[in-house]
Copies of this chain bind each other. A is one copy, B any other.
Amino acid sequence: MTSRFDFQIHATDGKARTGTITMRRGEIRTPAFMPVGTAATVKAMKPQDVRASGADIILGNTYHLMLRPTAERVDRLGGLHDFMGWDRPILTDSGGYQVMSLSELTKRNEEGITFKSHLDGSRHLLSPERSMEIQRLLGSDIVMAFDELVPTTSTRDVQAAAMERSMRWARRSRAGFDSGGEHAERAALFGIQQGALDEALRKASADALLDIGFDGYAIGGLAVGEGQEAMFGVLDYAPAQLDPARPRYLMGVGKPDDIVGAVERGIDMFDCVLPTRSGRTGQAFTRSGPINIRNARFAEDQGPIDPECGCPVCGKWSRAYLHHLVRAGEILGAMLMTEHNLYFYQALMADLRASIADGRLTAFAKDFRNRYYARET
């Protein structure tokens, strides 16, 4: 019999930990980076190549999938895993973030959020119960609680009210998830801590979540423009407010140096569109900082994107070729840049895990930052 959800911490180094989450669809090595597969595809990547890059789990977006092809259709087609050809764990977000950032809201109250689709203007409701239903229909392995987000520029009162509503919705999410029958016996549910940049609100949110009880805990509401210093400020205390025996997931983060700093502060899981999105626009990550492959200085550069990279792209194609492809708007440019960036992220996570296991994370992080910031463009 395989485990529904088990988290073993193998080693710690300062606040950082490395471990393994075991689920029936596979193991997730932590700290883990989850590539984003918004609309049932990690953009410009075949799932087998996502796996080959080292990903143990990917993320799917409830908001996008509920609108197209719809959760009901994915369910009729056998679930998201079969549909897209990815047989390992999938974490789905709750839709709360995208509904706020992508759609036109028509109603927002204790029940949930009514909105118009950005695709066709059709009207939809997202509530804790509906979000749980959608994530169940998708066949998600790690389900996220549905929460309410407010702008970071809101007053403390507004932030407090949104956090408190999110905690009530967390309880409804728990109930909705638990009523999901067979799916609830196979999947896991994560709660999401809110509270903006306020330590007391964060503590109240953590306590509310711990009282409900979840398989893991996400830190939400960060990486939304507050800057790395403010984010790290929260991460200096927020992880310790959560259950140390459970995975801590920092949603929507981030840049490589964000990830290194967050791992040092005790984060176990990450997701971000950066490696995929920036790959499509010509940004490549290297250990000496990001480069824009469109830059004229790469036009006849016969070296690989990153001489230290062991990815299939760096083993075969030059910066000059990628420069040409991206400048010409060729799909292959998006494919190869994305593949390299996903490998870069997964290699970074592997190095972080090994550094923690060997008790040398501080030295690794210092060396990483020294080199990474030396040539950021």
Name A's B-contacting residues (CB within 8 A).
Answer: 39-41, 43-46, 68-69, 73, 76-78, 83-85, 280, 299-300, 302, 316-318, 320-321, 324-325, 327-328, 330-332, 334-336
Contact = CB atoms under 8 A, between A and B. Distances in A.
Contact of A69 (B73, B83, B302, B324): B324
Contacts of A43: 330-332
B321 A84 contact: yes
17 contacts: A39-B328, A40-B321, A40-B325, A41-B332, A43-B330, A44-B331, A44-B332, A68-B324, A68-B328, A69-B320, A73-B300, A77-B300, A77-B302, A83-B318, A83-B320, A84-B321, A335-B335
Contacts of A332: 41, 43-46
Contacts of A77: 300, 302, 318, 320-321
Given A331-B334, A335-B331, A40 B73 contact: no
Contacts of A324: 39-40, 68-69, 83
Nearest to A338: B331
Contacts of A41: 325, 330, 332
A286 to B, nearest CB: 20
Contacts of A39: 324, 328, 330
- The 9 nearest A-B residue pairs measured at CB: A44-B331, A41-B332, A69-B324, A39-B328, A41-B330, A85-B316, A77-B320, A83-B321, A43-B331
A115 B318 CA distance: 31
Main secondary structure of the interface of A (DSSP, over half): loop
A43 B330 CA distance: 7
A345 B325 CA distance: 25
Contacts of A330: 39, 41, 43
Contacts of A317: 85
A323 to B, nearest CB: 8
A335 B330 CA distance: 12
Given A41-B332, A43-B331, A69-B320, 13 more contacts: A39-B324, A39-B330, A40-B324, A41-B325, A41-B330, A44-B331, A44-B332, A73-B300, A83-B321, A84-B321, A331-B331, A331-B334, A335-B335
A61 to B, nearest CB: 12
A289 to B, nearest CB: 25
A44 B335 contact: yes
A299 B73 contact: yes
Contacts of A331: 43-44, 280, 331, 334-335
A300 B76 contact: yes
B40 A335 contact: no
Contacts of A336: 46
A197 to B, nearest CB: 36
A90 to B, nearest CB: 15
Nearest to A329: B39
A241 B43 CA distance: 51
A327 B68 contact: yes
A251 to B, nearest CB: 23
Nearest to A336: B46
Nearest to A324: B69
Contacts of A73: 299-300, 320
Contacts of A318: 77, 83
B335 A46 contact: yes
A44 B85 CA distance: 19
A46 B325 CA distance: 12
A16 B330 CA distance: 37
